[in-house]
Amino acid sequence: MSYNLLKGKKGIIFGALDENSIAWKTALRVHEEGGEFVLTNAPVAMRMGQINKLAEQTGAQVIPADATSLEDLENLVEKSMEILGGKIDFVLHSIGMSINVRKGRHYTDQNYDWTQKGTDVSATSFHKVMQTLYKKDAMNSWGSIIALTYMAAQRVFPDYNDMADNKALLESIARSFGYFFGKEKQVRVNTISQSPTPTTAGQGVKGFDGFISYADKMSPLGNASAMDCANYIVTMFSDLTKMVTLQNLYHDGGFSNVGVSNEVMEAFTKDA
């Protein structure tokens, strides 16, 4: 169902790798709501991914960019404005990667070169994206910028490893940059803290299957899916949420405010 919430709006969507990606579902929903956009991902991800299929489906053009490279980001922002015929209304940063997680290095035994790379890709890249947009004055007033995060930024999830620290930094960058973007250009910046979701990045976390079921049982509404997240992002890109900025918005079926649920208690109660 379409509400035409994004009619006439133009944007950039980072991070659609395959059809499970949150960014992939977001691109489909934004397209349905009348938004136009450029799709981008790291050149290496493009070779593995199926982004051209999504581009065809949504009438989008694809511009490769490593989100850690200022040169790539400058090219991306310039080309996007050319293709879309003007300034940008919405940006989705849907990027995350930890080499320590990928290679099974424990949090207490990090390879710091990998840690640094993960921070650059997962958190600093958000600053780089915003700084590039800001310096080029590429955002329209009342535009909306969203990055995706996870609650491990606030609470301990042992296997989330150094991604927890990256997410804490990402959320802080959203607030700090959001201040200047709001003051100078009336642009809002928020992070959405999503439920565990079966994607390539999500499944990279150790014990993901057990964890996703646990989160589902803890949440009164159950886990939010990638498509639910796409719907939420659409509302955040729309004019209906104009005064929301500098927020970390939980999109998790209620998980973040639950101490324990009956289902989880039952698993620990002897005579249940």
Give the residue numbers annotated as catalytic, written as ranges: 150, 160
- Cα separation, 155 vs 151, in Å, equals 6
Instruction: Compare residues 5 and 13 and give the one whose CB is closer to ligand NAD.
Output: 13
Which of 80, 199, 219, 245 binds ligand NAD (CB under 6 A)? It is: 199
- Per-residue tokens: 152: 């491990």
Asked whether position 21 contacts ligand NAD by CB under 6 A, the answer is yes
Residue 11 counted as an annotated binding residue: no
Q: Contact region for ligand NAD (CB under 6 A) — 62-70, 106-114, 242-250, 258-266? A: 62-70
- How far are the Cα atoms of 150, 218, 271 from residue 259, in angstroms, in the given order? 18, 8, 21
**Contacts with 260 (C-beta within 8 Å, 6 or more apart), sequence order:** 218
Other beta carbons less than 10 A from residue 138's beta carbon: 20
Asked whether position 248 contacts ligand NAD by CB under 6 A, the answer is no
* Identity of residue 120: D
Helices then strands, counting H and E runs in the chain, come out as: 12, 7
Q: Contact region for ligand NAD (CB under 6 A) — 65-73, 75-83, 104-112, 258-266? A: 65-73
Instruction: Compare residues 31 and 185 and give the one whose CB is closer to ligand NAD.
Output: 31
Q: Which residues pair with 93 in a beta bridge?
A: 147
Report in angstroms how near the CB of residue 75 gets to ligand NAD at its nearest. 13
Footprint of ligand NAD on this chain (CB under 6 A)? 14-15, 17, 21-23, 41-42, 45, 66-68, 94-97, 121, 148-150, 194, 196-197, 199-202
